[in-house]
């Protein structure tokens, strides 16, 4: 952690409303927008097993963009797995610049997360297979398609896992939650299909509540959700999350819980 005494801390506010949540960001000139490549030195001395990056960072400033270039260059020389979430934010930079820079970064990563809707806005592909043809360098490409499900492309194969049925209260944070679940499965060496299931399970928590943090589901609940067959997975529904942090959520429509 480094303190910049001359720059403010960035902050954002959520304004949940019926059917729509407005988000207000105040980060221009913030300490985070002034991040630079030198900040990476302590990390590079002890490279992590996994580093997760976002397409928002290079849009914050030229310094941040330069730092991203240095980070990709440094970690590609180590055994660190680079995970990259495209995370296109139209309000942060011109469309043409974002499209060019984000695909450049995506092609350098080991694992890429991208929503089909943002991919269409950036580059035009309308199907996950077309997107894999476009982003063909990463070992793994995860294409999220909202309430329909997610497809993972790995080596010469692909797998699709449908999304869970969930009563959506707010979509903010669902993409980050999905990535967290999938990467947790990666670090546990789970099969690709179970990684997608973990992503859906964590995303469903974010979707079913206006809160920004939840205790994880109980281990028996997660184990059951990862163990059911495909037909049972399609029938799984989740009880809505309370907006208070807690562990009371359960899987419904599954006899083992």
CB 216 within 8 A of CB 187: no
Q: Specify whether 85 is catalytic.
A: no
Q: Given the residues 110, 176, 205, 249, select the one marked as catalytic.
A: 176
Query: What tokens appear for 31 in the block?
Result: 């300490």
Taking CA atoms, 72 is separated from 37, 105, 218, in Å, by 11, 8, 36
The residue among 107, 179, 177, 108 whose CA lies nearest residue 143 is 179
CA dist 185 and 138 (Å) reads: 18
Pair type for strands 81-85 and 111-115: parallel
Cα separation, 25 vs 13, in Å, equals: 7
Helix 174-187 and helix 192-207: axis angle, to 10°? 150
Angle subtended at Cα 184 by Cα 31 and Cα 199, rounded to the nearest 5 degrees? 95
159 and 152 Cβ atoms separated by less than 8 Å: yes
Mind telling me the catalytic residues? 176
């Amino acid at each position: 952690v480094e303190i910049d005494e001359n720059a403010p801390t960035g902050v954002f506010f959520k304004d949940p409303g019926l059917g729509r949540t407005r988000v207000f960001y105040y980060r221009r000139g913030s300490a985070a927008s002034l991040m630079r490549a030198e900040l990476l030195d302590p990390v590079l001395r002890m490279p992590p097993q996994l580093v997760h990056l976002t397409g928002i960072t290079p849009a914050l400033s030229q310094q941040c963009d330069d730092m991203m270039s240095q980070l990709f260059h440094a970690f590609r020389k180590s055994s660190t797995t680079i995970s990259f979430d495209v995370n296109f934010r139209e309000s942060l930079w011109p469309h043409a610049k974002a499209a060019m820079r984000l695909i450049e970064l995506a092609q350098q990563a080991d694992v890429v997360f991208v929503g089909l809707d943002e991919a269409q806005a950036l580059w035009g592909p309308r199907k996950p297979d077309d997107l894999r043809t476009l982003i063909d360098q990463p070992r793994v490409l995860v294409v999220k398609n909202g309430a329909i499900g997610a497809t993972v492309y790995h080596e010469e194969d692909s797998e699709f896992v449908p999304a869970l049925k969930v009563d959506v209260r707010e979509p903010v944070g669902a993409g980050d939650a999905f990535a967290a679940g999938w990467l947790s499965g990666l670090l546990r060496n789970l099969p690709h299909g179970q990684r997608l299931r973990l992503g859906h399970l964590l995303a469903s928590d974010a979707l079913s509540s206006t809160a920004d943090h939840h205790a994880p589901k109980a281990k028996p609940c997660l184990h059951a959700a990862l163990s059911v067959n495909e037909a049972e997975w399609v029938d799984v529904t989740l009880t809505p999350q309370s907006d208070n942090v807690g562990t009371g959520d359960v899987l419904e429509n599954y006899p083992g819980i």
